[in-house]
Structure 1
Amino acid sequence: MLADLLITNAHVLTQDPAHPRAGTLVIHGGRILAVDPDIDIPARTVFDAAGLTVVPGFNDVHSHSVWFGLGLMEAALGDARSLEDVYAAIGAAAAELAPDDWVVASGFSPLLLGGAQPDRDRLDEASGGRPVWIKHSSGHACTLNSAALDLVAATQDLTAVIDGGVVVRGADGRPTGLLEENAMRLIQELMLPYPLETIEKALELATAHYLTEGITSVTDAGIAGGWIGHSPREFGAYQSARDKGLLSVRMQPMLVLDALRPLSGHSDDGGGLGLDAGIRSGLGDEWLRIGPVKIFSDGSLLGSTAYMSEDYVGCTHNHGYLQMDAGELREQALAAYRAGWPIAMHAIGDAAVEHAISIITEAQETYGLNCFPNRIEHGGVVQPEQLDRIAEAGIVLVPQPHFITEFGDGMAELLGPARTELSYSAAGLLRRGAVLPGSSDRPVSNGRPLDVMQSFVERLTPSGRTYGPEERITAEQALAAYTTGSAAATGTSGEKGSLSPGLLADLVFLDQDPTTVHPSRIGATQVLGTMVGGELRYAHPDFPSFPNTAEDSR
């Protein structure tokens, strides 16, 4: 037999406990054929890795690729550190547009500006009267200027009560331009859906970027509905992107609950919520597969709308809120689960986490397990006894440790010392034997896995304070989170996560071993090459010469 590829002289961290380290990999048909084989296996291509560290491809189990890709096409506010920076960026973007064009900007974070919000009138000046739509990095709020508010008000009532959302007003009763949570639907009704071609382009840009960071698999946490979707036909854009060769990594998109509808059929079938023809989670293949249903229960810690059991510090009578009635939340979640949709419930505050645990455990006890593990997304504050129940029920909690690196000081101020110790658990999950995956919530936060791994280990805020020191984990555990942990969280341990015979040949070449360097240097590790299915899809200029490497992969 002639294998496709033989990789020699490598420092391989396989993540397979049966063979944790290796020097040689044999790849055939897009999968690992052998690890340190006892016999010589001839191959069409032999690559000397020159001592580079090789690890399984990174798997981000909570990201937003279309949102991220669109942001690469919009005015960027992620580096803004003052309102003047915001106005300058809006002005620069407006200068390139026609008088009636919209100025759309992404990545704005009020926490990085001490909570300051743009003034709608100053935005009018900066944009030259053009309508402005600023998307906040949290994904749970946006800001409009006067011109944009006028366009919204022409077709919708800004004074109407919005369930699970707020049109923020100043002391004079005038809308400030800030729309929170479900109030964002006001602007989305005007601006969406995006053309499928635009969504495909966003996916192309996003997934090409992922390769430069060693990411080979991504779960997109919410498409095709709600305030987070971009088109009711959004999954079709993923399929088209794959057909056209624009999808560079493996994808598991979650459909938002709003995209499901009541199912008809025989009375014995149980009804429930789903897609026409009974299509449900799990449909697809190793490149593109429908994931769980994404359900929003509460809001954002960054926006003080996450549902807590106690008030936010300095915000008397505000402990956040659920985005829908608790009874309706339970009923709809169970209806989707009954029809074959595992639950991925967004729950940040401990009160929301309580609802999520209750609903998921009821679903599992009533209907059994579905095709993928049930999940709680984020877990900004989780009580110890809640962690116990999460582990006991086999629920996957999906934290984002890089929030600490970017927003930790602001989060700690809102939570206070006691709740900060319970925030974004990692070590606590592992101590209980629960699954710990790697995730970023990109573009809410930086999604580069090696940076997130450093955040797992250090848990340092921007000011250098340690945020919940008891929740720090080792570099080895952080690497496991982004590989075997993420595979377990997405129900794909039989396909990926380790470099073991029979599994997919998704792997990353690194310039150093991130598990042996000082924690402060983990993020400095460089991705030199990324391979998906045995094919080198990204090569850094410093990557050793690879046989038959296409020029455009460098």
Structure 2
Amino acid sequence: MKRIFTGGTILTMAENKQVEAVYVEDNVIKAVGTLAECREAAGSGYQTVDLNGRCMMPGFVDTHTHPMMLGMCRIWADLDYPKVAGIDDLIRVLKEHGKTLPAGEAIRGYAFDQRNFKERRHPTAADLDQVSTDVYVQIMHASGHCNVVNTKLLRAIGVTDETPDPPGGALGRDKDGKPNGQLFDSANDLLSGLDGVQPQNHGPNIHMPDSPDHLMQRFEVGQDFFVRAGITTVNEVQLTKQELNTYLRARDQGKLKMRMEMSFLSNYLDDVIALGFNSTFGDNWLTIGSIKFYSDASLLSGTANVSTGYLDSDRHEGYNYHEPEEMIEILVKAHKNRLHTLTHATGDGAVDPIIDAIEKAQAEDPWPEAIHRVEHAGLVTEEQAIRMGKLGMIPSTQPEFLYLYGDGVVDAIGEEKGREFMPMARFKKYCSLYTISSDAPVTTPNPMEAISTAVTRRTNEGTVLCPEQAITVEDGLKAYTIYAARTLRRSHIAGSIEVGKLADFAILSESPLDLKEDEIQRMRDIKVMETWLDGEKIYEKK
């Protein structure tokens, strides 16, 4: 099939920022420029796709996602704010959800945020016992770093008054020191059973066990959110055996509707090395060449390593998953085996060991092409950003966190540090690349919302936090397209509209670059009208 796209704004994210037309043959871009040039390249027998005044861009590239977790959480009860603004709301919504389930099935929910509760506390087993004492009840924090279960489930997973905190995690406890149903970070391994995924101190367990058919359902539900957001390439940043098996089945069954870099969780590091995976493994659809590490836990749940501690929690200090020496050792091992790395660090106290590791790795075994990322990077200091930039390290950010949680972060850690949450201008100044992504399901995939926040730095309560850390609209668009494609080693096929690349496009209701300065907040209202993948339209907004 030969097609010429024209009749609207075409933003290429390349040197020729805006063009009149694009010629595509089958799934490859063959010409970019004037309409006359594209017609000449196409010859005869082409179809004209009229953009009708809308804006065509390269498909968005999301560098930090959990597709199957997104689908899982969308099947569970929705506990998001403001629908759930307190413990009473939580109990009511879970009870209502339970009425829709088969008798005896566990009641599960996702997206509670204790900082949005009027009680300003995490729920407990006693609260969930008001939902049911007859079936299991489980709820997951918006960050994915905490679950809370009712007493029936707490006892079923073997937690007693004598159960100790595991490395890289903690059990919530009442004033007498007894477990109260809260499971933080590696403690969530208790929920997966003996045969399930067990990350231990390598990350939070978001991999709840299920049948292959239900796992596929999770993926298809999650994938649909990315397709409708104009996102055509993603990075699955926490790959375990159940995700890998599901994605391979989806590809083989023709259900895969986005390209994917798959990053194994670091508990698989030795297995990945032994099997010979490296940065060259894969095709245009699925690649494996990177390892996901965790340095600390969650800023949102109050467990990240913030150097100055927390003001809104009995747990004043967060923690790291690994001691600094171990963090350095495993990152250097990955580098020396030619595996790119991405390391979760939401608190400033978790960043230095990552930088130290990359300094050591490059000194002992130079690899100029290495891609070493810091995920979230929410509280990176200027000194840390300077060090990252000198090493070519890439911050992978989620500005929508600032919109959804920014006021709570300031309350939690104080004005001085909290106002610089997600310091995008700092990354622009010191780092050659930086990306914007969703961390779905912590946020719903929506590039326009994320970019708008990076530009305005406005929270959902109307607070503007540290406007000097803002970036421009063009900066944001590049961070979600060409910069992201380079970060995922896919700039030869994605991230910009250029000759030779694959025909992956997002068609928007209008051009974000046409918005005037006082209209930037309206960017959140720009809609994805169509998504094209491999030269075919796979979504159209009705």
TM-score by length of 1: 0.89
- 1:67 is displaced (CA, Å) by 0.3
Equivalent in the alignment of 1:218: 234
- Residues 172 and 181, structure 2, Cα contact 8 Å, conserved in 1: yes
Q: How is 1:261-410 mapped onto 2 (pairs within 5 angstroms)?
A: 261=270, 274-313=272-311, 318-369=316-367, 373-410=371-408
Equivalent in the alignment of 1:69: 71
Identity %: 28
Q: 1:208 aligns with which of 215, 221, 224?
A: 224
Alpha-carbon spacing, 1:146–1:433, altered in 2? closer, same or farther (3 Å): closer
Q: Deviations over 1:309-359 (max 9, x none)?
A: 222235688332111222222212222222221111111111211111111
- 1:129 is displaced (CA, Å) by 2.3
Amino acid at match of 2:445: G
Q: How is 1:11-410 mapped onto 2 (pairs within 5 angstroms)?
A: 11-17=9-15, 19-37=16-34, 38=37, 40=40, 41=42, 42-78=44-80, 79-114=83-118, 115-127=120-132, 129-153=134-158, 159-189=163-193, 192-224=208-240, 232-261=241-270, 274-313=272-311, 318-369=316-367, 373-410=371-408
User: For residues 527 and 105 of structure 1, what CA distance do their matches in structure 2 show?
Assistant: 28
Indicate the SS of the match to 2:101.
Answer: coil
User: For residues 264 and 280 of structure 2, what CA distance do their matches in structure 1 show?
Assistant: 12
User: For residues 419 and 359 of structure 2, what CA distance do their matches in structure 1 show?
Assistant: 25
Alpha-carbon spacing, 1:314–1:127, altered in 2? closer, same or farther (3 Å): closer
Indicate the SS of the match to 2:225.
Answer: helix
Q: How is 1:489-508 mapped onto 2 (pairs within 5 angstroms)?
A: 489-508=487-506
Unaligned runs of 5+ in 2: 197-207
- 1:98 is displaced (CA, Å) by 4.3
Q: Deviations over 1:441-494 (max 9, x none)?
A: 111123211111111111112221112211111111111111111112212222
Q: How is 1:513-524 mapped onto 2 (pairs within 5 angstroms)?
A: 513-517=511-515, 518-524=519-525
Indicate the SS of the match to 2:193.
Answer: helix
Equivalent in the alignment of 1:269: none
User: For residues 529 and 421 of structure 1, what CA distance do their matches in structure 2 show?
Assistant: 36
- 1:164 is displaced (CA, Å) by 1.6
User: For residues 104 and 368 of structure 2, what CA distance do their matches in structure 1 show?
Assistant: 49
- Residues 399 and 425, structure 1, Cα contact 8 Å, conserved in 2: no
- Residues 141 and 301, structure 2, Cα contact 8 Å, conserved in 1: no
- Residues 59 and 231, structure 2, Cα contact 8 Å, conserved in 1: yes
Deviates further, 234-243 or 361-370: 361-370
Q: Deviations over 1:478-536 (max 9, x none)?
A: 11111111112212222211101111111111111112221111010111101011110
- Residues 147 and 182, structure 2, Cα contact 8 Å, conserved in 1: yes
Q: Deviations over 1:185-223 (max 9, x none)?
A: 111236753333322222212112211111111111112
Indicate the SS of the match to 1:81.
Answer: coil
Indicate the SS of the match to 1:220.
Answer: strand
Amino acid at match of 1:536: K
Equivalent in the alignment of 2:422: 424
Amino acid at match of 1:461: T
- Residues 94 and 127, structure 1, Cα contact 8 Å, conserved in 2: no
Indicate the SS of the match to 1:538.
Answer: strand
- Structure 1 segments, 4+ long, off by >4 Å, are 314-317
- Residues 124 and 182, structure 2, Cα contact 8 Å, conserved in 1: no
User: For residues 446 and 259 of structure 1, what CA distance do their matches in structure 2 show?
Assistant: 28
User: For residues 152 and 266 of structure 2, what CA distance do their matches in structure 1 show?
Assistant: 32
Amino acid at match of 2:245: G
User: For residues 509 and 372 of structure 1, what CA distance do their matches in structure 2 show?
Assistant: 33
Indicate the SS of the match to 1:11.
Answer: strand
Is 1:469 equivalent to 2:470 in the alignment?
A: no
Deviates further, 185-194 or 69-78: 185-194
TM-score by length of 2: 0.91
Indicate the SS of the match to 1:260.
Answer: helix
User: For residues 322 and 193 of structure 2, what CA distance do their matches in structure 1 show?
Assistant: 19
- 1:233 is displaced (CA, Å) by 4.0
Alpha-carbon spacing, 1:189–1:337, altered in 2? closer, same or farther (3 Å): farther
User: For residues 343 and 281 of structure 1, what CA distance do their matches in structure 2 show?
Assistant: 10
Alpha-carbon spacing, 1:370–1:101, altered in 2? closer, same or farther (3 Å): farther
User: For residues 317 and 179 of structure 2, what CA distance do their matches in structure 1 show?
Assistant: 23
User: For residues 452 and 536 of structure 1, what CA distance do their matches in structure 2 show?
Assistant: 24
User: For residues 97 and 51 of structure 1, what CA distance do their matches in structure 2 show?
Assistant: 46
Indicate the SS of the match to 2:494.
Answer: coil
Q: Deviations over 1:17-36 (max 9, x none)?
A: 1x111121100131211012
Indicate the SS of the match to 2:23.
Answer: strand
Indicate the SS of the match to 1:47.
Answer: strand
Indicate the SS of the match to 2:31.
Answer: strand
- Residues 200 and 246, structure 1, Cα contact 8 Å, conserved in 2: no
Amino acid at match of 1:203: F
Equivalent in the alignment of 1:482: 480
- Residues 75 and 106, structure 1, Cα contact 8 Å, conserved in 2: yes
Q: Deviations over 1:404-443 (max 9, x none)?
A: 1100111011222221244212111112252121211111
Alpha-carbon spacing, 1:339–1:169, altered in 2? closer, same or farther (3 Å): same
User: For residues 159 and 505 of structure 1, what CA distance do their matches in structure 2 show?
Assistant: 54
- Residues 402 and 446, structure 1, Cα contact 8 Å, conserved in 2: no
Q: Deviations over 1:378-420 (max 9, x none)?
A: 1121111111111111100111110111001110112222212
Indicate the SS of the match to 2:130.
Answer: helix
User: For residues 334 and 199 of structure 1, what CA distance do their matches in structure 2 show?
Assistant: 33
User: For residues 157 and 81 of structure 1, what CA distance do their matches in structure 2 show?
Assistant: 30
- 1:364 is displaced (CA, Å) by 2.4
- Residues 342 and 371, structure 1, Cα contact 8 Å, conserved in 2: no
User: For residues 86 and 247 of structure 1, what CA distance do their matches in structure 2 show?
Assistant: 35
- 1:293 is displaced (CA, Å) by 0.3
Unaligned runs of 5+ in 1: 225-231, 263-273, 542-554
Equivalent in the alignment of 1:545: none
How many residues end up aligned between the 2 structures? 519
Alpha-carbon spacing, 1:395–1:470, altered in 2? closer, same or farther (3 Å): same
- Residues 310 and 413, structure 2, Cα contact 8 Å, conserved in 1: yes
Deviates further, 368-377 or 288-297: 368-377
- Residues 402 and 452, structure 1, Cα contact 8 Å, conserved in 2: yes
